[in-house]
Structure 1
Amino acid sequence: MPPEPAYQFRAVTEKDLPTIAGWLAEPHVAEWWGDPETEIAAIREHINSVSVEPLIVKLNGKPIAYLQSYDPHMEDDHPYADQPFGTLGVDLTIGVPELVGIGHGSAILQQFVGQLFTEGTPRVIIDPDPANGRAIRAYEKAGFRAFDTRTSIYGPALMMARDADEVN
């Protein structure tokens, strides 16, 4: 695992979409994401969304990952609206293949979730596919714990959470 690097998070812009599209075509990403054109169209819509915040994660000034946070209470009929008020959901994809599996995923989440807790978010959820063992291990390493399994319009999900009041 790399030493605790400081990651930078910035809003996605139209100029980032070709980079994200390239990441979506990588085999380690394509296995877990939908059709790249559909996904890019959704990310484009999120750029000006009030319910989803799409972000580029940078390491040493270079884009390495896509991260989004969302409020499940701001979308009608969101499958996770049963979570406590103030809960935010996150999704993370490391796009650069050679950076997968060496600790960046858990480190990015630890840093980002720590920032959310500092801002007052009480709970953060993440919902990997139950078959995505690599992601689940990274999320557990970042402090997330499984609490439910669900099937929604997004497919099967292992519901995992970190709560601010459990942070030491």
Structure 2
Amino acid sequence: MEKTLYGAQVVLRPPTPDDIPVLAGIRAEPEVRTIWRGGDDLVAAVTQDLADPDVTTLVIVYEGRTAGAIQWGAEQDPDYRHANIDIYLDPAVHGRGLGTDAVRTLAHHLITDLGHHRIVIDPAADNAAAIRCYTKAGFRPVGIMRDYERGPDGTWHDGLLMDLLAADLTTA
């Protein structure tokens, strides 16, 4: 069981069954759904995410309410060991620095508490807001992954691979 983490503005805590419909509602917001998708049954998609043994999901809490989720997974091969992060936030709280705080808080935990030396994140190459958020948390662009993911329109879109090394982690 993952522990509760405290950022400057957000709390990252393990999910409960009560979070599933709230997270499904956030995932249904058009701005989030375009990126996260999940089929016609978002309650089932969130439930499946929370049950995935290869991914740890934490609920992002802001001012006492569920504001989104942040996930991490890890490559365990000792020669390639690193962690990866993914996040979604309720559009109603965008622009407040919560994403940066959540990413920075989880990255600090992954590096300091779990011993990862490198973390990767892979926003869509045209997702300027996400790229700004991750850059503020210390991530740096590594390169474009061409035709990386299929969009809702069925066409392939580029992704930006970004990474953060332990020495790059910012606290401000």
TMscore range, shorter length: 0.7 to 0.9
1:117 Cα deviation after fit: 0.9
TM-score (norm 1): 0.79
Q: How does 1:1-168 map to 2 (within 5 A)?
A: 5-37=8-40, 40-71=43-74, 73=75, 85-95=80-90, 97-119=91-113, 120-150=115-145, 151-152=147-148, 156-167=158-169
1:108 Cα deviation after fit: 1.4
Distance in 2 between the 1:137 and 1:55 partners? Answer: 22
- Structure 2: stretches of 5+ with no match in the other structure: 1-6, 151-156
Do the aligned partners of residues 17 and 167 (structure 1) sit closer, same or farther apart at CA in structure 2, a change above 3 Å counting? closer
- For the aligned residue pairs, the C-alpha RMSD in angstroms reads 2.5
1:36 Cα deviation after fit: 4.8
Paired residues, number: 156
SS in 1 for 2:135: helix
Give aligned-pair identity as a percent.
27
| CA displacement 1:68-89 (0-9 Å, x = unmatched) | 1012x36xxxxxx9xx622111
1:121 Cα deviation after fit: 1.1
1:42 Cα deviation after fit: 4.1
Distance in 1 between the 2:42 and 2:110 partners? Answer: 25
Distance in 2 between the 1:50 and 1:33 partners? Answer: 19
Q: Is the 8 A contact 2:149 2:159 kept in 1?
A: no
1:105 Cα deviation after fit: 1.0
Q: Is the 8 A contact 1:90 1:125 kept in 2?
A: yes
Do the aligned partners of residues 6 and 101 (structure 1) sit closer, same or farther apart at CA in structure 2, a change above 3 Å counting? closer
TM-score (norm 2): 0.78
SS in 2 for 1:85: coil
Distance in 2 between the 1:131 and 1:38 partners? Answer: 27
